[in-house]
Amino acid sequence: MKLTGSQILLESLRLEGVETVFGYPGGAVINIYDDLYDSPIKHILTRHEQAAVHAADGYARTTGEVGVVIATSGPGATNTVTGIATAYMDSIPMVIITGQVPTALIGNDAFQEADICGITRPCTKHNFLVQDLRDLPRMIKEAFFIARTGRPGPVLIDLPKDIQVASMKFSYPETVKMRGYKPTLEGDARQIGKAAQMLLKAKRPVLYVGGGASLADVDPELLALVEMLQVPVTTTLMAMAAFPAKHPLALGMLGMHGTYFANMSVTECDLLVAIGARFDDRVTGRIDAFAKKAKIIQFDIDPSSIHKIVRVDLPVVGDLKAVLTTLHAQLKELPQDVAQHVEQTSVWRKEIDGWKAKHPMGYTHSEAVIKPQYVIEKLSELSAEDAIITTEVGQHQMWTAQFFKFRQPRTFLTSGGLGTMGYGLPAALGAQVAFPGRQVIDISGDGSFQMNSQELATLVQYRLPVKIAILNNNYLGMVRQWQQLFFDKRYSQTRMELPIDFVKLAEAYGATGLTTDKVGDVESVIKRAFEIDGPVLMEFKVCREENVIPMVPAGKGIHEMVLAS
Partner 1 sequence: MKHTISVLVENEFGVLARVSGLFSGRGFNIESLSVAPTLDPDTSRMTIVTRGDDRILEQITKQLNKLISTIKVVDFTDEEYVERELALIKVTAEADLRAEVLRIVDIFRAKVVDVTPKSYTVEMTGAPAKIDAVLTLLTPMGIKEVVRSGPVVIGRGSKGVAG
> First vs last Cα of the chain: how many Å apart?
70
131 touching partner 1, by CB under 8 A: yes
Rule CB under 8 A: choose which of 34, 162, 268, 302 binds partner 1: 302
Kindly name the residue from 49, 113, 455, 546 that is annotated as catalytic: 49
Q: For partner 1, give the closer residue by CB, 29 or 146.
A: 146
Q: For partner 1, give the closer residue by CB, 303 or 419.
A: 303
What x/- string results for residues 76 through 115 when contact with partner 1 is judged by CB under 8 A?
----------------------------------------
Angstrom distance (rounded) from CA 210 to CA 239 = 5
304 touching partner 1, by CB under 8 A: yes
DSSP character string of 544-559: TT----SB--TTSBTT
Rule CB under 8 A: choose which of 43, 48, 54, 126 binds partner 1: 126
Angstrom distance (rounded) from CA 103 to CA 162 = 7
129 touching partner 1, by CB under 8 A: yes
- Catalytic: 112? yes
- Give φ, ψ of 518 to 5 degrees: -110, 130
Q: Tell me how crowded residue 140 is: count the other CB atoms within 10 A of its CB.
A: 26
- Per rule CB under 8 A, count of chain residues that contact partner 1: 21
The CA distances from residue 379 to 71, 251, 429, 530, in Å, are: 35, 21, 18, 10
134 touching partner 1, by CB under 8 A: no
132 touching partner 1, by CB under 8 A: no
CB of 522 to partner 1, least distance (A): 46
293 touching partner 1, by CB under 8 A: no
Q: For partner 1, give the closer residue by CB, 180 or 520.
A: 180
Kindly name the residue from 141, 161, 371, 378 that is annotated as catalytic: 161
- Catalytic: 392? no
- Give φ, ψ of 71 to 5 degrees: -140, 160
Kindly name the residue from 19, 112, 321, 435 that is annotated as catalytic: 112
Nearest to 264 by CA among 298, 291, 295: 291
Q: For partner 1, give the closer residue by CB, 309 or 500.
A: 309
Q: For partner 1, give the closer residue by CB, 42 or 121.
A: 121
Nearest to 434 by CA among 58, 83, 148: 58
Kindly name the residue from 111, 227, 343, 489 that is annotated as catalytic: 111
Stretch near partner 1 under the rule CB under 8 A, chosen from 118-126, 233-241, 284-292, 553-561: 118-126
Rule CB under 8 A: choose which of 40, 122, 520, 555 binds partner 1: 122
27 touching partner 1, by CB under 8 A: no
DSSP character string of 430-451: HHHHH-TTS-EEEEEEHHHHTT
Stretch near partner 1 under the rule CB under 8 A, chosen from 97-105, 191-199, 302-310, 497-505: 302-310
Stretch near partner 1 under the rule CB under 8 A, chosen from 11-19, 49-57, 199-207, 297-305: 297-305
Q: Tell me how crowded residue 269 is: count the other CB atoms within 10 A of its CB.
A: 26
Residues with Cβ within 8 Å of residue 98, at least 6 apart in sequence: 28, 29, 70, 71, 72, 73, 76, 77, 80, 116, 156, 157, 158, 159
Q: For partner 1, give the closer residue by CB, 143 or 549.
A: 143
CB of 206 to partner 1, least distance (A): 25
Q: For partner 1, give the closer residue by CB, 131 or 346.
A: 131
Q: Tell me how crowded residue 90 is: count the other CB atoms within 10 A of its CB.
A: 26
CB of 287 to partner 1, least distance (A): 12
Nearest to 163 by CA among 188, 138, 129, 186: 129
Rule CB under 8 A: choose which of 97, 136, 146, 429 binds partner 1: 146
**SS3 annotation, 269-311:** CCEEEEECCCCCHHHHECHHHCCCCCEEEEEECCHHHCCCCCC
For residues 151-210, which are near partner 1 according to CB under 8 A?
178-181
Nearest to 225 by CA among 202, 246, 199: 199
Q: Helix (H, G, I), strand (E, B), or coil: what is residue 474?
A: coil
Q: For partner 1, give the closer residue by CB, 121 or 489.
A: 121
- Catalytic: 111? yes
Q: Tell me how crowded residue 191 is: count the other CB atoms within 10 A of its CB.
A: 18
CB of 132 to partner 1, least distance (A): 11
Nearest to 472 by CA among 529, 364, 546, 378: 546
Kindly name the residue from 94, 398, 478, 496 that is annotated as catalytic: 478
Nearest to 306 by CA among 269, 121, 298: 298
Q: Helix (H, G, I), strand (E, B), or coil: what is residue 341?
A: helix
Which positions lie near partner 1, rule CB under 8 A? 117-118, 121-122, 125-127, 129, 131, 146, 178-181, 302-304, 306-308, 311
| Residues with catalytic function | 49, 111-112, 161, 478
